[in-house]
């Protein structure tokens, strides 16, 4: 029964956010700020994640495919396709669940327990439109952009790791990447990031918006938002793969 109540409150918040999405003048300024926080501020950690993901994937693939009968271009194909179709989206989203999701839940949770949200509503503001809508929209819009950053950095990291380790020349890596490149994989990655961005930000907004219990409650809502966001990202990843591949 508790989980059904939580699902009902979450669905109600999303419904209010959907209805409030037409009030662009209310959240215009907040939306721009959130686009910067979600997108621009996350670029360094996403670049680092992508580079090391691609590097490790290349070294492990080269280790497992040590054979005179397997061309080196195969490593480039495996690494690039794995990054585009899975790793750039999922690993980046798990990192963003901790960075973006935790921040959103903490901000809204602090505003809730300090009665700032109640003050906004008493002044006639639509708190959902002012606080929730811009954060969810920022996630939907900026997560695909971060996917591009993660993919480019992942493939670049793979090329660099192969070159400096002496196991995969850049020309062979790129040959395999081009040979087995399918545009649908990029579209699939974009689709996943849109869904993941919505899940992470909406769950974080829900947990923060309904936080209670002072500082301890804010901490609990932040933890719940991060953990639940990661679990739902993995579940959505499986469902999207089953439906779209």
Question: Can you give the pLDDT at residue 156?
Answer: 95
Question: Can you give the pLDDT at residue 69?
Answer: 75
Rounded to whole angstroms, the Cα distance separating 151 from 137 reads 22
Tokens of 84: 């585009």
Q: What is the DSSP string of 73-100?
A: HHHHHHHHHHIIIIIHHHHHHHHHIIII
Question: Can you give the pLDDT at residue 43?
Answer: 94
How many residues in total does the chain contain?
245
Tokens of 5: 């109540």
Question: Can you give the pLDDT at residue 158?
Answer: 94
Rounded to two decimals, the pTM is 0.92
Q: How many CB atoms lie within 10 A of CB 22?
A: 10
8 A C-beta contact, residue 48 and residue 159: no
Rounded to whole angstroms, the Cα distance separating 125 from 181 reads 49
Question: Can you give the pLDDT at residue 23?
Answer: 81
The whole-number mean pLDDT for each consecutive block of 10 residues of the chain, a chain of 245 residues, reads 82 88 83 92 94 93 80 89 92 94 93 87 83 93 95 94 90 90 91 96 93 86 93 95 88
Question: Can you give the pLDDT at residue 119?
Answer: 87
Rounded to whole angstroms, the Cα distance separating 208 from 225 reads 8
Burial-class residue 125 by CB neighbours within 10 Å (0-12, 13-18, 19+).
middle
Rounded to whole angstroms, the Cα distance separating 70 from 9 reads 54
Return the DSSP state at 39: T
Question: Can you give the pLDDT at residue 1?
Answer: 64
Give residues with Cβ within 8 angstroms of 168, minimum separation 6. Answer: 58, 62, 72, 75, 76, 162
Give Cα separations from 47 to 54, 69, 193 (angstroms). Answer: 11, 34, 16
Give residues with Cβ within 8 angstroms of 163, minimum separation 6. Answer: 169, 170
Q: How many CB atoms lie within 10 A of CB 243?
A: 7
């Amino acid at each position: 029964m508790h989980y059904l109540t939580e699902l009902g409150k979450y669905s109600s918040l999303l419904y209010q956010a959907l209805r409030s999405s037409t009030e662009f003048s209310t959240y215009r300024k907040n939306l721009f700020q959130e686009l910067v926080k979600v997108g621009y501020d996350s670029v360094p950690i996403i670049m680092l994640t992508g580079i090391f993901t691609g590097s490790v994937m290349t070294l492990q693939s080269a280790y497992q495919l040590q054979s005179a009968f397997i061309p080196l271009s195969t490593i480039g194909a495996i690494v690039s396709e794995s990054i585009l179709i899975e790793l750039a989206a999922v690993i980046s989203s798990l990192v963003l669940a901790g960075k973006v999701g935790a921040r959103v839940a903490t901000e809204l949770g602090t505003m809730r327990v300090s009665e700032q949200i109640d003050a906004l509503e008493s002044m006639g503001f639509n708190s959902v439109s002012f606080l929730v809508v811009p954060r969810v929209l920022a996630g939907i819009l900026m997560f695909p952009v971060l996917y591009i950053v993660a993919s480019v950095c992942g493939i670049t990291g793979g090329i660099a790791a192969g070159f400096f380790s002496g196991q995969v020349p850049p020309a062979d890596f790129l040959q395999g990447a081009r040979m087995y490149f399918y545009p649908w994989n990029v579209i699939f990655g974009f689709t996943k990031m849109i869904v993941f961005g919505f899940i992470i930000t909406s769950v974080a907004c829900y947990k923060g918006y309904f936080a209670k219990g002072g500082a301890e409650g804010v901490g609990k809502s932040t933890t719940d938002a991060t953990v639940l966001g990661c679990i739902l990202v993995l579940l959505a990843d499986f469902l999207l793969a089953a439906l779209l591949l």
